[in-house]
Amino acid sequence: MTEASPETLVIRRRRPMLGGASAQVGLLAIVAAFWFVFSSLAPGFLSSFNLFALGRSLAVDIVIGFSQMVVLATGGMNLAVGSIGVCAVMMSGFLLQDLGLPIPLGLAGALALGGVLGWMNGIAIVKTGVNAFIITLASASLFLGAMLILTKAVPYNALPPEVGAFGRLRLFGVVSPLLVIAVAIGAVLVVLYRFTSLGRQILAAGANPRAAAMSGVPVGRVIVISHVLSGVLAAAAGLMVIARLGAAMPATGGEEWLLPSFLGPVLGGTLLSGGSVAVIGTMLGAALVTTIRSGLLVLQIGNFWLQLFLGLILLFAVLVDRYRSVYAERRSVGPR
């Protein structure tokens, strides 16, 4: 699993560093098409209430996608995104409600816990050399179990009212500040991967660990840092859910975040084999998922078929991506 096959190496060489721009234009067109279809079928889709609700859940989906994307960049994966998210949720509930700490401290504590849990994943992966899939599958269960044992699955319902009020805040009547935060996080990530040496090191380590190590990249440390970042981002997504619900619920996150966390980055053109990130693509991927979810809701098709749609879209996206790269390869090599 961890070894890159020769085919993926070929694809990787043909990819621009921040994901194919053409892929993102295509994705944007698909999102626009869905908006057109949904708004013409159900006028309620474009109501300011629905747009506001859509933006709020989009913010969460974007950050969940980022949380997975930063680990995919190293060629690993993090199945514990949802577990870390819910641990952070309950931690902030505990800090704000039981300890009565001021809000900034409560949020910082939750983000710190996310970072620590991510760090534990990273250390376990680097020290044992076992693939990230199995380590994070086990730690997801470990973290979730520990959270349930400690909190007894009792939600924190009496958070300071400012938390919920922030979630209900509307800028210009339709935009949630949560969405602004998500986009700001995206901007920070673009700077990280494009302009800082740490970001370049992460991508180098993901593209070819051995070559990166030979050129002096501390591969182990870079992987641990990526997992810390993933943990902090998962915690941030959890905090956004708290703002949306006005309460810290133990049913947040968990396995429900698994599919969305991969959908955003993979639709956006992030490679599973590592070495590339697509920050804007991840945002567009999340936009597609949120649009479809919201549209099916407005059309009252219901949540039951949603899973099928999301699965088929993911399949479709990876197949298209695969054939596009095969086609690009053939064209550059010429007819055989």
Residue 288, helix vs strand vs coil: helix
Q: Residue 302 class from Cβ within 10 Å (0-12 exposed, 13-18 middle, 19+ buried)?
A: exposed
Nearer to other proteins, 7 or 162 (CB): 7
Distance CA 114, CA 11 (A): 33
Nearest to 275 by CA among 193, 205, 170: 205
Lookup: tokens for 92: 């902030």
Q: If binding is defined by CB under 8 A, does position 123 make contact with other proteins? A: no
Q: If binding is defined by CB under 8 A, does position 149 make contact with other proteins? A: yes
Q: If binding is defined by CB under 8 A, does position 304 make contact with other proteins? A: yes
Lookup: tokens for 72: 């995919």
**Residue recorded with tokens 């810290």:** 248
Choosing from 112, 306, 324, 329, the residue that interacts with other proteins (CB under 8 A) is 306
> Could you tell me which stretch among 20-28, 97-105, 145-153, 202-210 binds other proteins (CB under 8 A)?
145-153
Site string for other proteins, 70-99 (x = CB under 8 A): -------x----------------------
Q: How far is the CB of 225 from other proteins (least distance, A)?
A: 22
Q: If binding is defined by CB under 8 A, does position 9 make contact with other proteins? A: no
Q: If binding is defined by CB under 8 A, does position 300 make contact with other proteins? A: no
> Could you tell me which stretch among 149-157, 184-192, 208-216, 223-231 binds other proteins (CB under 8 A)?
149-157
Long-range Cβ contacts of 209-215 (<8 Å, 24+ apart): 209/75
Q: How far is the CB of 48 from other proteins (least distance, A)?
A: 30
Distance CA 84, CA 202 (A): 22
Q: How far is the CB of 300 from other proteins (least distance, A)?
A: 13
Choosing from 197, 300, 303, 332, the residue that interacts with other proteins (CB under 8 A) is 303
- Interacting positions 218-277 with other proteins (CB under 8 A): 255, 258-259, 262, 266, 272-273
Q: Show the CA angle centred on residue 230, arms to residues 174 and 53, nearest 5°.
A: 15
Choosing from 42, 51, 103, 137, the residue that interacts with other proteins (CB under 8 A) is 137
Identify whether the C-beta of residue 72 lies closer than 8 Å to the C-beta of residue 280.
Answer: no
Residue 57, helix vs strand vs coil: helix
Identify whether the C-beta of residue 325 lies closer than 8 Å to the C-beta of residue 8.
Answer: no
CB-based contacts of 45, cutoff 8 Å, min separation 6: 35, 38, 39, 294, 295, 298
- From first CA to last CA, the distance across the chain in angstroms is 30
Choosing from 28, 123, 142, 181, the residue that interacts with other proteins (CB under 8 A) is 142
Nearer to other proteins, 113 or 178 (CB): 113
The residues binding other proteins (CB under 8 A) are 1, 5, 7, 77, 124, 128-131, 133-135, 137-146, 148-149, 152-153, 255, 258-259, 262, 266, 272-273, 302-312, 314-315, 318-319, 322
